[in-house]
């Protein structure tokens, strides 16, 4: 079985680097060509949820698309399968492209159960603590947290500058988090913040531990899930309440936080489930009448395109 990653029109060099990192973490290759079955990751009509599939058999290429336009029509038409990563936010509706590649690869390779429906997903969703020292990685991880339905996150800011960095660092971090439309509440924390929780689960990219998909992640606000903490921090705060869950990825010197956190958040979302649709209530769509109000005829100014050349 061979998996390769295809970046279709991805423009940001940092995103390309992280997609290559994702390939390394999964023991996959990074190629401009298609190897085996082509699986496109795109929110397109008819796309199949990434959850509830069997583990990959045979060779496949996983394609992700441009940061703004998504996957090209050429790749979509050629794809043997199109998959979508379900999100639960009304405002942050996409992941960073490298994070999406990692999440899709995780479920394509390992398979999973489906995402259930529940009346009160908020009661099942655990608390979350993220620790990070790179502002863009932290920002992208917070973007994923919001997309997968979290409203509050504890952040151990190990020099990432989320709370006290320079204006340039803070702008980049908040851009990565899509802060202009991300309602997530970020709370300053320390590794010792775990002391007030009855149950603590540390998530690591590799090494010993319970496989993440076998770890119950639905114990509500009595349970704290930690990602990005170092082994020293784990030892410093470990108690009988703490367990270690591993993603089982290839061991590397430093796994990018956005990739590890996004896989973990996707698995929490799968286990927690989605809210049951209300009987007889259609899905809410855009209400344009509240955004557009006709103006009185006397207040309308018509401008010819040729007039704009003067500016």
For the chain, what are the domain ranges?
A: 3-110, 117-275
Residue-level pLDDT at 297:
54
pLDDT band at 2, cuts 50/70/90?
confident
Does the fold of domain 117-275 match that of domain 3-110?
yes
pLDDT tens sequence across 181-235: 999 999 999 888 888 999 999 999 999 999 999 999 999 999 999 999 877 776 7
How large is the average pLDDT for residues 157-167? Answer: 91
Comparing 97 with 306, which gets the higher pLDDT?
97
pTM equals: 0.87
* Rounded average pLDDT over 78-88: 96
What CATH number was assigned to the domain covering residues 117-275?
3.40.1280.10
The string of pLDDT tens digits covering residues 110-141 is: 999 999 888 889 999 999 999 999 999 999 99
For the chain, the three-class secondary structure string (H helix, E strand, C coil) is CCEEEEEECCCCHHHHHHHHHHHHHCCCEECCCCCCEEEEECCCCCCEECCCCCCCCCCEEEEEEECCCECCHHHHHHCCEEEECCCCCCCCCCCCHHHHHHHHHHHHHHCCCCCCEECCHHHHCCEEEEEECCHHHHHHHHHHHHHCCCCEEEEEECCCCCCCCCHHHHHHHHHHCCHHHCCCEEEECCHHHHHHCCEEEEEECCCCCEEHHHCCCCCHHHEEEEECCCHHHHHHHCCCCEEEEECCCCCCCCCCHHHHHHHHHHHHHHHHCEECCCCCCCCCCCCHHHCCCCCCHHHCCCCCHHHHHHC
Homologous superfamily, domain 3-110: SPOUT methyltransferase, trefoil knot domain (3.40.1280.10)
Per-residue pLDDT for 291 more than 50? no
């Amino acid at each position: 079985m061979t998996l390769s990653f295809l970046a279709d029109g991805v423009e940001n060099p940092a995103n390309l680097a992280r997609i290559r990192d994702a390939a390394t973490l999964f023991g996959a290759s990074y190629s401009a060509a298609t190897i085996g079955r082509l699986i496109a990751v795109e929110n397109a009509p008819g796309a199949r949820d990434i959850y509830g599939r069997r583990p990959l058999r045979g060779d496949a290429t996983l394609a992700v698309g441009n940061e703004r336009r998504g996957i090209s029509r050429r790749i979509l038409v050629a794809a043997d399968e199109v998959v979508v990563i379900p999100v639960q936010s009304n405002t942050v509706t996409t992941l960073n492209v490298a994070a999406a590649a990692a999440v899709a690869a995780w479920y394509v390779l390992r398979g999973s159960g489906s995402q259930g429906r529940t009346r009160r997903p908020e009661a099942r969703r655990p608390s979350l603590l993220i620790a990070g020292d790179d502002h863009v990685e932290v920002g992208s991880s917070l973007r994923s947290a919001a997309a997968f339905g979290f409203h509050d996150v504890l952040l151990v800011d190990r020099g990432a500058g989320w709370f006290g960095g320079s204006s340039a660092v803070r702008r980049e971090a908040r851009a990565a988090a899509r802060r202009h439309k991300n309602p997530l509440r970020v709370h300053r924390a320390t590794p010792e913040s775990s002391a007030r929780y009855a149950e603590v689960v540390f998530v690591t990219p590799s090494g010993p531990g319970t496989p993440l998909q076998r770890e119950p992640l639905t114990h509500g606000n009595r349970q704290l899930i930690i990602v990005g903490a170092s082994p020293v921090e784990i030892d410093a705060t470990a108690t009988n309440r703490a367990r270690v869950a591993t993603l089982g990825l290839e061991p590397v010197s430093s796994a990018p936080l956005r990739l590890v956190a996004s896989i973990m958040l996707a698995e929490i979302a799968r286990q927690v489930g989605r809210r049951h649709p209300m009987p007889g209530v259609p899905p809410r769509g855009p209400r344009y009448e509240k955004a557009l109000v006709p103006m009185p005829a006397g207040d309308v100014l018509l401008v010819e395109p040729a007039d704009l050349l003067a500016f």
